[in-house]
Chain A
Amino acid sequence: MSLLFLVLALLTLVMAIGTVTARNLFHAALFLVGAFFGVATIYVLLEAEFLAVSQVIIYIGAIATLIVFAIMLSRSMMGREAGGYNRYWVAAAVGVAALWSLLALLLTTVSFPVVDQPVPADAIVQIGAGLIGPYLIPFEVVSVLLVVALMGAVMIARERHRQR
C-alpha cells in the first residue's frame, strides 16, 4: 500500500513538474492530464471513488480539453517562446522551495486527531443527501456561479462582428 502510494505520488509529482517546465505548451497540457490522472488515483487510495471519477470527468474531460483547445486556437502560442519563464523565475523557485520546507516542517510536527474508521458504505448516497440537505445553499450558489461563468465566457470569447 505504502509502496503504491509512493509510486503514484512520485509519478504525479513528475507530471506536475513536467507541466510547469515543458517548453511546448501542448506538452505541458498533456503533462497536466497525467497529473490530474495521478491525483485521481490518489483519491482511489483514499477510498473516495466518487471524487476520483468526478476528477477524471471534470478535470481531464472538461478542463484539460478546454485548455488544449485554447492552445490550439491561438497558433502563435505554440512557438518556441511560449513556454518561457519571466525574469523572476529563480526567485520563485527559491521561494516555493522555502514554502514547501516550512509546510513540511509544520505538517510533520503538528499531530492531527487521526481516527481509524471505515468509510460509510453508502458514501455516495450521503454525498447526494448532503448536497441537497445541509449544503443546499452553497450548492445552489455554485450552480449559479457556473451558469454565470459559462455565459460570461461565451460573451467574452464571442467574436464581435464590427458594424460598419
Chain B
Amino acid sequence: MSDVILEAKGIQKSFGGVMAVAGVSLMIRRKEIFALIGPNGAGKTTMFNLISGAHSLDEGEVIFDGKPVHGKPSYHIAAMGLIRTFQNLQIFGTMTVLENVMVGSHLRGKSGFLSAGFRLPGVAAEEKRVRDHAMEMLKLVGMESRANDLAPSLPFGQQRLVEIARALAASPKLLMLDEPAAGLTRPEIRILDDLISRIRENGVTVLLVEHDMNLVMGIADRMAVLQYGSKIAEGTPAEMQANQDVIGAYLGVDWEMDKPFARTV
C-alpha cells in the first residue's frame, strides 16, 4: 500500500468567469494531519468540494487510495472512505443528535425499502448495531449525554462536535474538516485540538481547512497555502512561518491570532 492516500494533480475550476482554483496540486500521506490555509476566497473550500465530488473539475485528477475519483459522484467517493464536514454546518435539523450520527453509519447498513418495510429478519439486529456504533462515536466527541436531544437545540460548538461524530461514524480513511474551529470558543477549540489528535491516533488521515493559526500551527504535520486559487507555498509549519510569500499573503488581511505563530493551546 502506497504512502500517499490522496493526490490532487493540476486541479482547475472556474465559476462563470472567475477562476476559483488555478492548477493546484496536493499530496497527502497516510495518517498525517495536513492543513490547507489561505486568505478568504483563496479557493480552499472549493478544493474540498472538488476533491469530495460535490463539484466537478474543469481540469485535473484526484487519486484517492490509489484509485481515480474525479468525475465520480460524491456518495461513491464517500463509500471509498473519503468523508468531509461542512464550513456552514450541515446538521440534519429534524433529527436527534443520535439519529444524525446514525445517518453517518448509513454505509454500515444494508436494509432497504423491502427489508425495512416488511421488517425482515436481520433488520432489528442491524438497527441495534448501528445505534450502538453511533453512541460510541458520540462518546468519542463527548456528546453522548445529548444523544436524544433534537440537534438544533444544541449550542453551535456542540453541533460541530456532533457533525464530526457523524463523519467518524462513516469510518473514514481520510477525514476532511472544513473550518472546524469557526465559531468555537477557546475552550471548545482546545477540545477540538485534542479530538483531531485522537482521530489521527486511530489511523485516520486528516485534511483540514482552517483560519485559526494557533490550532493549525500546533497540530499540522504539513501545510499548503493558497492565495487567489493558486498554491504559493507548501511545507512544515516552521517553514511556513519563515516564508515571505506566506507572510505577504496575510499582511493587511484580518485573521484570528492571539500570538503570532506560537502554540497556546
> Is this pair of chains taken from one and the same complex?
no
